Amino acid sequence: METRKLRDLEVSKIGLGCMGMSHGYGDPADKDEMIKLIRRAYDNIGVTFFDTAECYGPYLNEELVGEALEPLRDKVVIATKFGITLDKEHHQVLDSRPETIRKSIEGSLKRLRTDHVDLYYMHRVDTKVPIEDIAGCLGELIQAGKVRNWGLSEAGVQTIRKANAVTPVTAIQSEYSMWWREPEKELLPALEELGIGFVPFSPLGKGFLTGAVKSDATFPANDFRSVVPRFSKECLEANQRFVDFVVSMAQQKGITPAQLALAWVLSQKPFIVPIPGTTKMHRLDENMKSAEIVLSAEEIQSLNDEISKIEIAGDRYPKELASRVGR
């Protein structure tokens, strides 16, 4: 697979988001099968960029990724995240105090079976802690060799600028897809100006853009989509027009809807590296073939013109989680 650069960090053109293997989309998948899938991504396809987080599970996903990539450690780039902990009632709490970050990195290194993390993100911006203090702490971890690069997830542009001025930021991770284009307004121009890479999560719209999520779909309580307004029955029905258009355009080009959605994301900027996730081997192969698909300028313009005409129903987060993004 071809590579791209997140600032100076070279990674495969498409990465593998590992969260859904053990968190967020129902019951965890079979561990042995997921280890096979992760290793296949590298061995057969050339994926070198793998994404996890401390709070996925919590801890289960880092342990899975660590075991899967231990034999390949010097050949791959591992990204993980700090800053979300659980209280006694298992509610998520934002905590990016420097003392917590130092504790978190030690736990992540142990679970990932490594002596360094290639890309260490602040999972959500903790407004109780000055971003300059957080960036300074990451600079110290980089100096110590425990972290090679750092980034932020779902951060606002002003926070990114302040952080980057203290310790250069390698990448920003946020949601971005044909279905959620908000980053185009302020975030992408700022990243291009600052030379920072962009890592979109949910580039397939949490599965919606594959065409596999039907308007009558329901989700179990341990599937994150069960609380996402955009995946309510009413909104799924209202948004069917959008996915119908994606499916139609993909058929015209002789590719799958997922491949069209990923190729579209890749076409937007050369510093974009999406991280679609999957638990299925055939979906892994399908997604990664998107790296070979080229959309012409005319095709991109046609897609953009059409999708801009379709109003999307429903927010991408429930209110309590929406308040934690763009800070």
> Distance between CA 103 and CA 98 in Å, rounded?
9
In the residue annotation, 56 being an active-site residue is answered as yes
Q: What is the mean pLDDT of the chain?
A: 96
- The distance from CA 228 to its chain's CA centroid, rounded to whole angstroms, is 17
Please write the tens of the pLDDT for every residue from 229-252: 999 999 999 999 999 999 999 999
pLDDT at 97: 98
Q: Which of 56, 120, 121, 176 is catalytic?
A: 56
pLDDT at 100: 97
Quick one: pLDDT band at residue 194, thresholds 50, 70, 90? very high
pLDDT at 87: 84
The alpha carbon dihedral of 111, 116, 118, 124 has a sign of: positive
What is residue 105's three-state secondary structure? Answer: helix
> Distance between CA 110 and CA 106 in Å, rounded?
6
Kindly tell me if the per-residue pLDDT of 42 is higher than 90. Answer: yes
Q: Could you count the other beta carbons within 10 Å of the beta carbon of residue 8?
A: 11
Please write the tens of the pLDDT for every residue from 272-303: 999 999 999 999 999 999 999 999 999 999 99
> Distance between CA 250 and CA 290 in Å, rounded?
12
Computed on alpha carbons and rounded to an integer, the radius of gyration of the chain in Å comes to 19
> Distance between CA 236 and CA 214 in Å, rounded?
7
Bridge partners (DSSP) of residue 153 are 173
> Distance between CA 274 and CA 262 in Å, rounded?
8
> Distance between CA 327 and CA 286 in Å, rounded?
35
What is residue 49's three-state secondary structure? Answer: strand
Q: Which fold has domain 3-207+268-293?
A: TIM Barrel (3.20.20)
Contact assessment for residue 149 and residue 170, using Cβ atoms and an 8 Å cutoff: yes
Please write the tens of the pLDDT for every residue from 117-164: 999 999 999 999 999 999 999 999 999 999 999 999 999 999 999 999
User: Where in the chain are the domains?
Assistant: 3-207+268-293
Torsion angle of alpha carbons 192, 194, 199, 204, nearest 10°? -30
